[in-house]
Amino acid sequence: MNASTQNGSLDAADTKDRSTHCRLNDGGFITRSALIPWTRLNKPGLEGIQYKILNFDENRSYMVVLNTFDPGSRFAPHKHLGAVEIFMLSGSFFYDNGQVFADDFMLEAGGVTHAPGSDEGALMLAIFHGPLQILDNEGQVLVTVGIDEMYDLAKDNDAVAHLQKTQHRVALTSEG
């Protein structure tokens, strides 16, 4: 790592630096996801998920996540309070009414309740537009999972060094 990376200002030529992230002097940033550790989402009913937060805006419940499903995963029913856009990178997963394979794009609509699973495992890029609620058998909310919960778990796992809340918001909206 060179000194300019730590200061958050890089010239284009410096972006071959192999630290977890670098800030560009035009307001953008590059995150080297391969260098970020996976965090396990150890919430009831979602134990088969690992993730890396790539970007987020806590003021808009917006979060970009790389996540995996373990082979043989069966998730508890959950309700999405905002839509999720998914691009499948490898593997597959299924719902009661559909199956998603590598290279598929998937929209989970805001308000939907479902219980996906994966036989072979899956790797996907997911853009969250709101948190989700994990439900029990009677449809009661067991726990809500959103940016705060996922960020805190990732922080405990030393997986947030590349995330700086204010700077990420600036990168998305150009607001100060």
Query: By C-alpha distance, which of 43, 74, 49, 70 is closest to 148?
Result: 43
Using CB under 5 A as the binding criterion, the count of chain residues that bind Fe ion stands at 1
Stretch that binds Fe ion, among 27-35, 86-94, 100-108, 142-150 (CB under 5 A): 100-108
Tell me which H or E stretch contains 134: strand 132-135
Residues numbered 122-141 forming contacts with Fe ion, rule: CB under 5 A: none
Closer by beta carbon to Fe ion, 28 or else 44:
44
Binding segment (CB under 5 A) for Fe ion, from list 11-19, 56-64, 106-114, 167-175: 106-114
Cβ neighbors of 138 (< 8 A, separation 6 or more) are none
If the CB atoms of residues 49 and 108 are measured against Fe ion, the closer one turns out to be: 108
Which tokens hold the place of 64? 């970009």
Least Cβ distance, residue 168 to Fe ion (angstroms): 24
Instruction: Find residue 164's DSSP bridge partners.
Output: none
Query: In whole angstroms, what separates CA 107 from the centre of its chain?
Result: 15
Beta carbon of residue 79, minimum distance to Fe ion (angstroms, whole number):
9
Site string for Fe ion, 55-94 (x = CB under 5 A): ----------------------------------------
Question: Shortest gap between Cβ of 136 and Fe ion (angstroms)?
Answer: 16
**Residue 130 C-beta: closest distance to Fe ion, Å:** 11
For the bound state, the minimum distance from the C-beta of residue 123 to Fe ion, rounded and expressed in Å, comes to 16
DSSP secondary structure string for all residues of 9-76: -B-GGGGG--SSEEEBTTS-EEE-GGGSPPEE--STT-TTEEEEEEEEETTTTEEEEEEEE-TTEEPP
For Fe ion, the binding residues (CB under 5 A) are 108
